[in-house]
Structure 1
Amino acid sequence: MENFRNIGVMGREGNGVVETLRRLLVLLEGRNVTTVLDESLSPLLPDHGLRVCPRKMIGEICDLIIVVGGDGSLLGAARSLTRQSAPVLGVNRGRLGFLTDISPGEIESQIGAVLDGHYVTEKRFLLDVEVMRDGARIGRGDALNDVVLNSGTSGHMMEFELFVDGEFVYRQRSDGLIVSTPTGSTAYSLSAGGPIMHPRLDAIVIVPMFPHTLSSRPIVIGGNSEVKMVVCASNVVNPPVTCDGQVKITTQPGDAIYVRKKPHKLKLIHPLGHSFYASCRDKLGWGGHMPIEPSDD
């Protein structure tokens, strides 16, 4: 197991975040490690006395990044750390917390155990999106959860064509389309009726949003596939493309949106005993009881 010596702390302002940050910094101060603070957090902690670093550089000088906040905070951190190899550990100050799986009350025990070398690592792939207009790229973004093309206006459908690996799939009228990673399958994709995918799957799911035909269903494709969406000329709106609900690119009729797997993966760290299925039971309200074994009598 890697011995973490330089630890970056990231996050964003929110309910209880400052209190949790202070508790985390007290723990790190007693562990003989060098702590580097994301510059966006510095104003929340006056007189902290720590080294401050821009978000785009923090992954280059640290060998572990701890993110305090909800899954949205970790999504933002993941997009800024895609080209750096530092693994990421999440402390949950949000609601669901599929990615940030350490609760504030477990900081001393769980993060202490991670620093002692007791953890597991898993890799999650991200998506790269490019928007092309007349052969020129007019926008791009990264997504750990999903890339979404939608009409951008309530009550208005949009029309687009879908291609996978250059092969025409369908022309559709709907509120839009979600292209999701396995990580994002428990997020917006799930709300739209998409399947839950185990994080280790090398697959992408394409989920239509309120399609005009009842026969349209989610499609699961290979993780190395290229997805292309073309905004049809019949549209009277300029549909936006969003990455993890945060990065927004406005398209216009005739634009092509390409979605591909990124070559760089995010390394997530979990405490020992982490279970994807336990997270589903907890976060999604699945029945938590173990099945009763049949009797031998």
Structure 2
Amino acid sequence: MTESREPDMVGLVRHPLVERTASCLEGAARVLGEAGIKLWEIDRDASLSQHSLELSRLRLLLTLGGDGTLLHGARMAAAHDIPLLGVNLGRLGFLTELEADGLEDGLRRFLAGEYWVEPRTVLDVTVAGNGRGPLREVGLNEALLQRDATGAMLRLRALVDSQEVGTFDADGVIIATASGSTAYALAAGGPILEPTVEGLVLVPLNPFALTVRPIVFPPKQSLTIELARNDALLTVDGGHARRLRQGEAVHVGAGADPLRLVRFSSGSRFYTRLRHKLGWGLPLVPTVRRHDGWPHPEEDAWDDELRHERRGAEQPPEV
């Protein structure tokens, strides 16, 4: 007797509050239906064990929303080794590959095999201590350990492969992947890592001592953060917060298998995204740019006004 199998499926995770997801959903269903593929919508807050069998049979996981929606899909895709295609319906879309108007063409290209896969390191986060049940989560961006509503500063002990790094007082700590280095970790003063860098970065949040600075670790090392004083809250990729008690520890390492992001561009566009979506290296004053990317200062009123003000400041006062 042969085992019955589900039809070929593509999974969909979408933002529930973005109006444009409905029209995108119709377009995706039409393209996939023409190829005899079923589109299966998944609750973006579903647990990894809730649909384990169905997830293991997916050909692709599609996210409709912004980077936050992609993060919800990433934990499912990474846990089941499913390629992930992000469609941006939000404001930034730093991690996503397509805009809404490119969805249908992108699906056709995927089905035709006209794509490549960009591997991204993921986090494997576990909690142990004080006799409570274990917690394990997968994340793409970061694990955040921060003080709770009492506002009391934390005392944290950091270890790498059981070797002590040090103990420090801070509002919290971020442990991020290269993907997460351009998110909360960047806002907290951490370095930017190119996505193919497989290391992890530890970024203290408002440390009491100025000498406690971010550290980049190689991917094979496992980081442990022990709560030496006060309780804290743990979140992974902005998900549900879990309260940790003094004496508990968080273990963070690189996952065994990377997340596979579907890409259609001829190569990595990381630096283009960095420049145009995060503004790295762009002038603080807006400029009109030529087709080759260089400024057109003579056509830019902002630059003209700024130069006029500077010339005026350099002129000696009239006597």
The TM-score, its normalising length taken from structure 1, stands at 0.84
Q: Secondary structure at the match of 1:263?
A: coil
Instruction: Kindly state the Cα deviation for residue 39 of structure 1 after the two structures are TM-superposed.
Output: 4.2
State whether residues 14 and 69 of structure 1, in contact with CA within 8 Å, keep that contact through their aligned partners in structure 2. no
Partner of 2:166: 170
Counterpart Cα distance in 1 of 2:126 and 2:109: 41
Look up the SS of the partner of 2:40 in the other structure.
strand
Report the AA paired with residue 127 of structure 1: L
* Alignment match, 2:258: 265
Q: Which residue of 1 aligns with 2:239?
A: 246
Deviation at 1:205, TM superposition (A): 0.3
- Contact 1:145-1:184 within 8 A present in 2 as well: yes
User: Is 2:287 the partner of 1:283?
Assistant: no
Alignment partner of 1:179 out of 156, 175, 191: 175
Distance in 2 between residues matched to 1:285 and 1:94, nearest whole Å: 17
Q: Is the 8 A contact 2:142 2:180 kept in 1?
A: yes
What's the C-alpha RMSD, in Å, of the aligned pairs?
A: 2.2
Report SS of the residue matched to 2:213: coil
Identity of aligned residues (%): 32
Distance 2:112 2:15 in 1: 27
Task: Identify which range, 209-218 or 151-160, moves more after superposition.
Answer: 151-160
State the shift of 1:130 in Å: 1.5
Letter in 1 for 2:207: P
* Structure 2 runs not aligned, ≥5 long: 1-7, 45-49, 283-288, 295-319
Structure 2 CA distance for aligned equivalents of residues 156 and 95 of structure 1: 34
State the distance in 2 between where 1:111 and 1:39 align. 18
* Corresponding residue number in structure 2 for 1:19: 23
The question of 1:36 aligning with 2:39 is answered yes
Distance (Å, rounded) in 1 between the aligned partners of 2:171 and 2:204: 8
Q: Structure 1 or 2: larger strand share?
A: 1
How far is the alpha carbon of 1:91 from its aligned partner? 0.7
Give 1:154 shift. Answer: 7.1
Give the letter for the 1:255 counterpart: E
Give the Cα–Cα distance (whole angstroms) in 2 for the partners of residues 88 and 216 of structure 1: 36
Pair 1:9-2:12 in alignment: yes
Residues in 2 aligned to 1:189 and 1:168: alpha-carbon distance in whole angstroms: 22
Q: 2:57 aligns with which of 56, 61, 82?
A: 61
- Where in structure 1 are there 5+ consecutive unaligned residues? 42-53, 293-297
Alignment of 1:185-264 (within 5 A): 185-232=181-228, 234-235=229-230, 238-264=231-257
Matched residues, number: 272
Alpha-carbon shift at residue 291 of structure 1 (Å):
7.4
Q: 1:277 to 1:224 in 2, by over 3 A?
A: same
